[in-house]
């Protein structure tokens, strides 16, 4: 099918070079560009070629999630996903306001494709695309020094991957420990993709493509550190994706990051819950008895997030937020127009 695309970004800055580039180039993919503001966003923000929703506009959407979601948290990006679904998107590409898209960022996407397939254990997917020591934010630190996977020895198969993570060159998504100790910038190789179906690797929200059947799994938790929200989302998404026979794909860099200013020690502090608990989260999610099937993904998500609340990693206020998200998502998808054309 010929799907409609949307690109979703959250920002608290005046339009960055990345935002201006996305606005100018989104028509290449026929993509709607949705920008989500927050309490720190400039009052006079304006970007031609984008649909910008400040806090007032978000509340006027009628979304229950928008009424309940806390301000000042990256998880307000959830409102952008819902807006894209309401407008009929069948493929959502999420990125950040400091990621500059390359030409291949605008190439049409396919959910089914051939890739090297990994099915067991923790995988450092960055090692597929780099020779030196580098790892994705969220990989348990005890896994960093393990011998890299022999990717060429993995089978090449066609895999259904409705979640696909692209890498970022120059200033990639690594944790604060890497940034404090090891050299940047980094440019990744253009190696072939690797799909995980049973294996585990954190993925982020900086250059990630989602197809409609995986849309529920876009949900970013708000009652946890902003430096782990997309990482913990990725663990829930992987657990449920594998339950449904889907792969999660990692492919070469299609953006380069001109990173916004960060306080690395503050980032480190915000990442500590991940350093301490990411491996534990995987074990807990794998131990859950979850239902299989696309129609029961909301039930499986509730079970996963209840477990994270039980583990006291996410606050109890997350659960009504998740219910609001799932209700809004169901309404958004019910009202979305069908994709045009066919292939």
Q: Looking at the domain assignment, is residue 343 inside a domain? A: no
Q: Are 322 and 217 in contact (CB under 8 A)?
A: no
Q: Looking at the domain assignment, is residue 41 inside a domain? A: yes
Q: Are 301 and 217 in contact (CB under 8 A)?
A: yes
Residue 208 phi, psi (nearest 5): -130, 135
Q: Looking at the domain assignment, is residue 342 inside a domain? A: no
Read off the pLDDT of residues 92-123 as tens digits, 9 standing for 90 and up: 999 999 999 999 999 999 999 999 999 999 99
Structural domain of 163:
5-335
Q: Looking at the domain assignment, is residue 193 inside a domain? A: yes
Helix, strand, or coil (residue 268): helix
Which tokens go with 340?
């045009």
Read off the pLDDT of residues 54-101 as tens digits, 9 standing for 90 and up: 999 999 999 999 999 999 999 999 999 999 999 999 999 999 999 999
- Strands of 132-206 (E only): list them: 156-160, 163-169, 194-196
Give me the pLDDT at residue 26, please.
98
Give me the pLDDT at residue 273, please.
97
Give me the pLDDT at residue 66, please.
97
| pLDDT score of 217 more than 70 | yes
Give the number of domains in the chain.
1
This model's pTM is above 0.85:
yes
Distances (CA, A) of 237 to 30, 161, 208, 252, 326: 27, 12, 13, 21, 15
Read off the pLDDT of residues 29-56 as tens digits, 9 standing for 90 and up: 999 999 999 999 999 999 999 999 999 9
Confidence label for 336 from pLDDT (cuts 50, 70 and 90): low
Bigger pLDDT: 337 or 124? 124
Confidence label for 2 from pLDDT (cuts 50, 70 and 90): confident
Beta strands 31-36 and 51-53: pairing type? parallel
Read off the pLDDT of residues 151-169 as tens digits, 9 standing for 90 and up: 999 999 999 999 999 999 9
Read off the pLDDT of residues 246-293 as tens digits, 9 standing for 90 and up: 999 999 999 999 988 889 999 999 999 999 999 999 999 999 999 999
CATH number for the domain spanning 164: value is 3.90.550
> Across the chain, what does the average pLDDT equal?
95
Q: Looking at the domain assignment, is residue 225 inside a domain? A: yes
Which tokens go with 300?
């499986």
Distances (CA, A) of 138 to 96, 143, 173: 18, 10, 10
Give me the pLDDT at residue 334, please.
86
Q: Looking at the domain assignment, is residue 282 inside a domain? A: yes
Is the preceding peptide bond at 339 cis, omega within 30 degrees of 0?
A: no
Q: Looking at the domain assignment, is residue 141 inside a domain? A: yes
Confidence label for 3 from pLDDT (cuts 50, 70 and 90): confident
Confidence label for 149 from pLDDT (cuts 50, 70 and 90): very high
- Greatest Cα pair distance, the chain, in angstroms, is 54
Q: Looking at the domain assignment, is residue 340 inside a domain? A: no
- Strands of the chain (E only): list them: 5-10, 31-36, 51-53, 91-95, 99-101, 112-118, 156-160, 163-169, 194-196, 207-211, 248-257
| pLDDT score of 342 more than 50 | no
């Amino acid at each position: 099918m010929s799907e409609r695309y949307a690109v979703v970004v959250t920002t608290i800055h005046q339009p960055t070079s990345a935002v201006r580039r996305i606005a100018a180039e989104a028509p290449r993919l026929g993509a709607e560009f949705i920008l989500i503001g927050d309490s720190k966003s400039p009052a006079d923000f304006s970007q031609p070629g984008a649909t910008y929703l400040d806090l007032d506009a978000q509340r006027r959407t009628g979304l229950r999630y928008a009424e309940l979601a806390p301000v000042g948290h990256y998880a307000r990006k959830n409102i952008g996903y819902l807006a894209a679904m309401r407008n009929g998107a069948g493929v959502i590409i999420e990125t950040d306001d400091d990621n500059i898209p390359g030409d291949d960022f605008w190439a049409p996407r396919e959910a089914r494709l051939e890739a090297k397939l990994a099915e067991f254990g923790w995988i450092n997917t960055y090692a597929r695309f780099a020779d030196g020591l580098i790892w994705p934010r969220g990989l348990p630190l005890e896994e960093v020094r393990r011998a890299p996977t022999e990717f060429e020895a993995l089978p090449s198969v066609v895999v259904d991957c409705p979640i696909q993570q692209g890498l970022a060159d120059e200033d990639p998504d690594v944790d604060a420990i890497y940034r404090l100790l090891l050299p940047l910038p980094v440019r990744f190789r253009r190696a072939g993709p690797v799909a995980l179906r049973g294996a585990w690797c954190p993925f982020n929200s900086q250059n990630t493509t989602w197809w409609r059947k995986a849309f529920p799994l876009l949900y970013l938790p708000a009652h946890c550190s902003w430096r782990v929200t997309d990482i913990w989302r990725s663990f829930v998404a992987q657990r449920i994706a594998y339950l449904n026979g889907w792969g999660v794909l990692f492919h070469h860099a299609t953006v380069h990051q001109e990173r916004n200013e960060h306080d690395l020690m503050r980032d480190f502090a915000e990442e500590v819950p991940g350093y301490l608990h990411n491996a534990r989260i995987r074990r807990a999610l794998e131990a859950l008895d979850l239902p299989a099937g696309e129609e029961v993904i909301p039930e499986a998500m509730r079970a996963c997030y209840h477990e994270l609340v039980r583990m006291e990693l996410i606050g109890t206020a997350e659960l009504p937020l998740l219910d609001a998200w799932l209700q809004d998502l169901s309404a958004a998808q019910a009202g979305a127009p069908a994709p045009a054309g066919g292939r």
